[in-house]
Structure 1
Amino acid sequence: MITLDLQHTDYHTLLQSFAAQLNCAYEDNVLQLPAHVGEGFFKLVELPNGLQALLSDITYNTDVTFRRTKSEIYYCVLYFNDSALSEPLQFERNGKWHVDKSIRRSGISLVSSTSDMSFTMKAKTKARTINLLLPELWINSNLNRYNELHLLMRFNQQQNSISYPEPFDAQNRILFDEVFETEESNPMQQMIVKNRIMLLLEQFLSKVHRKMEENPDAGPRKIKPADLSKLMEIEAILVQDFGQPPPTIVTLAGFSKMSVSKLKSTFKKVYGTGIYEYYQKNRMLKARALLLTGKYNVKEVGTQLGYTNLSNFSLAFKKEFGLLPSEV
């Protein structure tokens, strides 16, 4: 078991601390993990207006606990996370322990420095994360006209999103994937990565503001944690391979241990759309992303996404975006 402290409010200093604790190199804003800890990296990304993001793409070879104690310096940390868990995830907040028994955790969590927190990534867990550090000064300077600091604090208290993360939606998913899948050989790679991270932040803040303004006295989400966990696993299944038809709703209902009607209504409540509509929207977003790379023609993209009839692909694309794939 390895324990890493998260006390620093500067990710450059934090990664220097990690490198010292793990006895490994930290160069050019990247820390490559030693083999006994895991396969992968932590990477610092400097963002506009003094913000920092910490990216990680890791398969853990041993148990690693991340721990942070509450601080008098106020800041928020926004976690975008997609993890395939090898064992139930155990995490602690202000002395209370929770266990997430899901095998897939894909969502957004917001925590503040006013609470203690720790969680353990078990060996064989595969995790990709984007951590955004939001200092109080940045929040007040950039978002004060919306009173966002107060809204973030209320959202954090009500949602307890470290225990019950806000699931990815279709836009979150495509932006998150592009951060990790844009090749370094792309001359615009750094610009794309920074742009996608800032869009993730903008979308989250807009959603928080809308939720808290529309229903300021709303309590925690009324969906059972076990059901929410299953929904996140189903969402991951839907987007993992567009080259294959999605499972039937009956199959997904059996997997989730919900009735078909409950699965359909609960999925729509959480993701804002039906199951197949969600699959198709992500499929088209993936198509657009592939076309924008300039590496594939329309036929190649359609084939990758499981279309045997390119006319059907073109019609579906135009329905989603208002233009043909050849016009991208």
Structure 2
Amino acid sequence: MITLELQHTDYHALLQSFAAQLNCSLENNVLQIPPHFGKGFYKVVDLPNGLQALLSDIEYNTDVTYKRLKTEEYYCVLYFNDSALSEPLQFERNGKKHVDKSIRRSGISLVNSTHDMSFTVKAKTKARTINLLLPEQWINSHLNRFNELHLLMRFNQQQNSISYPEPFDAQNRILFDEVFETEEANPMQQMIVKNRIMLLLENFLSKVHRKMEENPDAGQRKVKPADLSKLMEIEAILVRDFGQPPPTIVTLAGLSNMSVSKLKSTFKKVYGTGIYEYYQKNRMLKAKAMLLTGKYNVKEVGTQLGYTNLSNFSLAFKKEFGLLPSEV
């Protein structure tokens, strides 16, 4: 078991602390983790307006506990996370323990520095995470004038999102994946990564604002935690491989331990669209992202995304974006 302290409001200092605790060195704001810890990295990304993000892409070889004590200095941390869990994830918040038995966590969590918090990741877990640090000064400068600060705090109080994350939507899924999958050889890699992280933040704040304005007295989400966990597993299956047809609704219902009607209605409640519509929207967003890299032609993209008829691919793409893939 390894315990890492999170008592920093500067991710460069935090990464230096991690390096000291793990007895390894930093290079260009990247910490390649040692074999006894796992395989992967931590990386600091400096963003506009003084914001910072800490990226990690890790396959754990040992149990790791991340621990943060409450502080007088106020700040928020926004976690974008996609994890395949080997064992239940254990949380402790202000002395209260919680165990998440999900196999998959794909969503957004918000915490602030006024609470003690720790969570333990078990060995063999695979996790990609973007931690976005929102200091009080940034919050006061950029959110107060739009009243989002009040909404953000109310959202944080009403939804225990560290235990039950807000699920990704189709746009967030694509943005999140691009942060990790844009190749370093791409001359615009740093610009793309920073842009996608800021878009993730913008999308989250817009969604919170819209949700809380529509229903100011909203309490806990109405979907049961167990059902939400299953939906995250279903979402991960849908976006895993666009080269293969998605499983049938009956198959997905069996995997989720829900009836077909419950799965369809609950999925739409959480993700805002039907199951196959969600699959197809992500498929087209993936197609657009691939075309924008300039590395693939239309035929290559269509083939990789499972189309045997390129005319069908072009029609689906135009339906989604209003232009042909050849026009991107």
Tell me the TM-score range normalised by the shorter chain. over 0.9
Q: Which residue of 2 aligns with 1:86?
A: 86
The whole-number CA distance in structure 2 between the counterparts of 1:252 and 1:198 is 33
The whole-number CA distance in structure 1 between the counterparts of 2:92 and 2:148 is 26
Q: Which residue of 1 aligns with 2:120?
A: 120
3-state SS of paired residue (2:143): helix
Q: Which residue of 1 aligns with 2:263?
A: 263
The whole-number CA distance in structure 1 between the counterparts of 2:16 and 2:265 is 47
Q: Which residue of 2 aligns with 1:298?
A: 298
Gapped runs of 5+ residues in structure 2? none
Q: Which residue of 2 aligns with 1:326?
A: 326
Gapped runs of 5+ residues in structure 1? none
| 1:39-58 alignment, distance < 5 Å | 39-58=39-58
2:81 maps to a residue whose letter is: N
Superposition deviation, residue 296 in structure 1: 0.7
Superposition deviation, residue 224 in structure 1: 0.8
Q: Please state if 1:6 is matched with 2:6.
A: yes
Name which of structure 1's ranges 287-296 and 143-152 shifts more when overlaid on structure 2.
143-152
The whole-number CA distance in structure 2 between the counterparts of 1:16 and 1:236 is 33
Superposition deviation, residue 301 in structure 1: 0.4
Superposition deviation, residue 142 in structure 1: 1.1
3-state SS of paired residue (2:139): helix
Q: Per-residue CA shift, 1:153-194, capped at 9, x if unaligned?
A: 110110110011000000000000000000000000000000
Q: Which residue of 2 aligns with 1:280?
A: 280
The whole-number CA distance in structure 2 between the counterparts of 1:303 and 1:147 is 47
CA RMSD in angstroms comes to 0.5
TM-score (norm 2): 0.99
2:270 maps to a residue whose letter is: V
Q: Per-residue CA shift, 1:234-273, capped at 9, x if unaligned?
A: 0000000000000000000000000000000000000000
| 1:93-104 alignment, distance < 5 Å | 93-104=93-104
The whole-number CA distance in structure 2 between the counterparts of 1:213 and 1:265 is 24
Q: Which residue of 2 aligns with 1:137?
A: 137
1:172 maps to a residue whose letter is: N
Superposition deviation, residue 31 in structure 1: 0.5
TM-score (norm 1): 0.99
Percent identity, aligned pairs only, is 90
The whole-number CA distance in structure 1 between the counterparts of 2:100 and 2:231 is 13
The whole-number CA distance in structure 2 between the counterparts of 1:120 and 1:57 is 16
Q: Which residue of 2 aligns with 1:203?
A: 203
| 1:211-290 alignment, distance < 5 Å | 211-290=211-290
Q: Per-residue CA shift, 1:278-313, capped at 9, x if unaligned?
A: 000000000000001111110000000000000000
3-state SS of paired residue (1:62): coil
Q: Per-residue CA shift, 1:180-217, capped at 9, x if unaligned?
A: 00000000000000000000000000001111111111
Superposition deviation, residue 148 in structure 1: 2.0
Runs of 4+ in 1 over 2 A off after TM superposition: none
2:300 maps to a residue whose letter is: E
The whole-number CA distance in structure 1 between the counterparts of 2:42 and 2:110 is 20
| 1:26-37 alignment, distance < 5 Å | 26-37=26-37
Q: Per-residue CA shift, 1:54-104, capped at 9, x if unaligned?
A: 000000000000000111111000000000000011111111111111111
3-state SS of paired residue (1:27): coil
The whole-number CA distance in structure 1 between the counterparts of 2:240 and 2:52 is 29
The whole-number CA distance in structure 2 between the counterparts of 1:132 and 1:61 is 25
3-state SS of paired residue (2:78): strand
3-state SS of paired residue (2:132): strand
